Amino acid sequence: MGCHEQSPSPELPLPLNTGSHPLIQTEEIPSELPALKDQKKATRAEAPVSLSAEVAPAPRLPEDLPIGRSIEVPVVGDRPLRVAHASHDSNEAIIYLHGMCGNSKGAEPWLDLALSHGTLIVVRADQPCKERPGYRWPKDPQLIQERIEHALALTKKARNGLLNTESVTLIGYSQGSHRGERLAELRPNMYPRVILGGPPTLSDPQRLAAVQRLAYLGGEREKRDHMIESHRLTAAAGINSRFFLLPQAPHGSYGPQGHQVMQQVFRFLYDES
């Protein structure tokens, strides 16, 4: 009896379900990077952003700041200032330089006019006069300019920043006007409006070339031919210049009609019709 050899069973192909086959493993590709997922989660966790941005309150003058009257302001290492603060409506600054050995209170008769346009800061001369009481100005305008800038900075700080120190009205009387002309040359963009009261010498139009409005003051009882000539020369050079007469006024005084004249001067300076 012969033996029959059994044929082997045909091999069946392996299933292509690689995800479940123990011998074939493939890495699953994530739909998002982990870092991006974390970023989205953090964004969702954040509080909603307010659509209305917070606005800081506008600065205001200190409640205890004296308004409308002159006060003495001590300055460390220097002579005190005399300051009359304008209201919150005006942030302009007006610098006043008195005459040689002269009165630092010379602006008081028309203080109200100044305050209607800005804060008046009287910077006092610091060189002692030799033959009489008082103080005179140094010849170097840079020394005066440095003291003016310090005075402006102190006043601005006292006003919580409410003071324009970049464009300033400059008023000088007698020797103060002589130095004022040099200051206008030294800092041509800082002093667009200048008053030269009782100037002792003839003006040089080149020094005042950048001034937008220039007023000369001359007393009826003082020599003023050179002041009138200064006005003529500066006007011929294209500067908006005017001469104002102070009736019955000697040198060193604004006279009995000083307030009325200064009212006209301020209207001219600030282009008020």
Over residues 107-117, the mean pLDDT reads 97
Summarize pLDDT for 65-104 with one digit per residue, the tens: 999 999 999 999 999 999 999 998 899 999 999 999 999 9
CA distances for 196 relative to 171, 225, 250, angstroms: 6, 14, 15
User: Are 105 and 82 spatial neighbours (Cβ–Cβ below 8 Å)?
Assistant: yes
Between vectors from CA 169 to CA 165 and to CA 173, what angle results, nearest 5°? 130
Domains of the chain: 70-269 (3.40.50.1820)
Instruction: Please tell me the least confidently modeled range out of 1-15, 43-57, 213-227.
Output: 1-15
Q: In this structure, how many other beta carbons lie within 10 angstroms of the beta carbon of residue 259?
A: 14
Q: Which phi-psi region, left, alpha or beta, contains residue 267 (left: φ > 0; alpha: ψ -120 to 50)?
A: alpha
How far is residue 177's CA from residue 218's CA, in Å, rounded to a whole number? 12
pLDDT at 95 (0 to 100)? 98
Tokens standing for residue 58: 């506008």
pLDDT of residue 2: 45
Distances (CA, A) of 79 to 42, 75, 101, 105, 265: 62, 6, 14, 14, 29
Tokens of 261: 């004249």
pLDDT(126) > 50: yes
State the average pLDDT over residues 262-271.
97
| Segment 2-19 mean pLDDT | 44
Lowest mean pLDDT among 21-25, 40-44, 268-272: 21-25
**Sign (positive/negative) of CA torsion 177, 183, 121, 132?**
negative
Show the beta-strand stretches assigned E in the chain.
Answer: 70-75, 78-84, 93-97, 119-123, 127-128, 135-136, 169-173, 193-197, 213-219, 241-246
pLDDT of residue 203: 98
Q: Which of 49-58, 93-102, 245-254 comes out lowest in average pLDDT? A: 49-58
Determine the pLDDT at residue 48: 53
pTM for this predicted structure:
0.80
